[in-house]
Every structure is written in C-alpha cells, then in structure tokens.
Amino acid sequence: MQMIPAEQIATDLLTIGAVTLAPNHPFLWASGMQAPIYTDNRRTIAFPQVRTHIADGLANLIKHRYPTTTVISGVATAGIPHAALVADRLSLPMSYVRAKPKDHGKGKQIEGQMTASDRVVLIDDLISTGGSVLAAAKAVRKAGATVLGVVAIFSYELPDSVVNFQQAGLALTPLTTYSTLITVAQQQAKITAPEMASLRQWREDPWGWMSV
C-alpha cells in the first residue's frame, strides 16, 4: 500500500472518463440541480491500474487515520467492490450496507461480518449531499457498532454535504475532491479560463449557479 496523491486520483478519473466537465451544457441531477459535472465512478472497477490506485489510497488512509478499525463496510452498490479490495489489503472483515432492509428472508440490511463491538469505516464511491452513506451509517449505529468515519473516492464538496456530515457527527475523508479535479483539468488544458470560473461558481453556490 502506498500514499496516492489526490492529483493522481483526479487524473485517473478524468483519463478513464469517470468524470465529465461540461459547464456549457450542464447535467440535470435527480435532485433537480443543474450541474456542470457528471461523475460515474462505477467505471473505475474496469481499469486495473485505477482501481489499484483507489484501493491503495483508501487502505493507506484508513490505516493511518483509523488504526482501530475492525470492519470495512461498503455502501451498496458502488462502494462494495472498493470495500472488498480494501478489506483484503488490511486483512479485515468486510460487510456491506443496503439502502434498505431486504423485504424477504431475514430482512437484513447489513451483510457480512459485524458485531456491536465493532469499529467500522464506511466506503462509498462518490459524495454529493452524503445522503446514502449517512443512511448507511445510521443503520450501522442501529446495529450497535461504532462508525469511526467515512472515506470515499471523490467528493463534490457541496455545502449541503458539509452540513449533513456535521449534523451526523461524522468525518468525511475523500481521496480527491472537486476543487482538486478542476485544478488538474485546467492544468491539462481540458477546460478554458471562463469554464474554470463557472466551475468555481458552481462549487460556491450550486443551487444558484447558471451555465456560462
């Protein structure tokens, strides 16, 4: 395992097309927000070197930030493959958390190894408002375990997510962020100066942002 710079993860995401920047042709998110960016980190599992960078980065982060971790838990569905790779690197038990309990069988929401005495780190691929991973954290706490923190591949750094994590009393540590990604994109001449200005404006006021 090795430390992987945030700039390397940002470069990886841009190179494989996991992130698309389009301030002139914004995307409509399910929330109704207009955004100059679309992210599909599910693509990362198809690229061996990229998923290795991600797994090494997450494992190293957890090892140093949360050394008392006893279980690695993935948020369904996109966090599951990364949790599996990280748990293997750290030789720790793994679980995953569904969005809601099963409607059949034993009605489980959490699968894998987890007890009330466990100290859990949750892994997700992408953080926008944080809704899905914070719901998973609530389920883990309901099961009696302790949630040490949340790690992720990428965070949009939306103001809503900052508030939501503060209210949940949880720390979020992403491998890379929106600010880093757009800086890398500018350095690689993937965006123009006016586009960069627009991308920064969206970061500051995502709900009030207007396309350039």
pLDDT digits (tens, 9 = 90+) for 55-89: 999 999 999 999 999 999 999 999 999 999 999 99
Which pLDDT does position 2 carry in this prediction?
Answer: 73
Radius of gyration of the chain (CA): 17
| SS3 assignment, position 122 | strand
Predicted TM-score (pTM) of this structure:
0.95
CA-wise closest residue to 80 among 66, 95, 69, 90 = 95
Report CA 134 to chain centroid distance, whole Å. Answer: 12
Given a cut of 90, is residue 212 above it in pLDDT?
no
For residue 157, which phi and psi values (nearest 5 degrees)?
A: 65, 30
**For residues 168, 121, 148 and 131, what is the CA-based torsion angle, rounded to 10 degrees?**
0
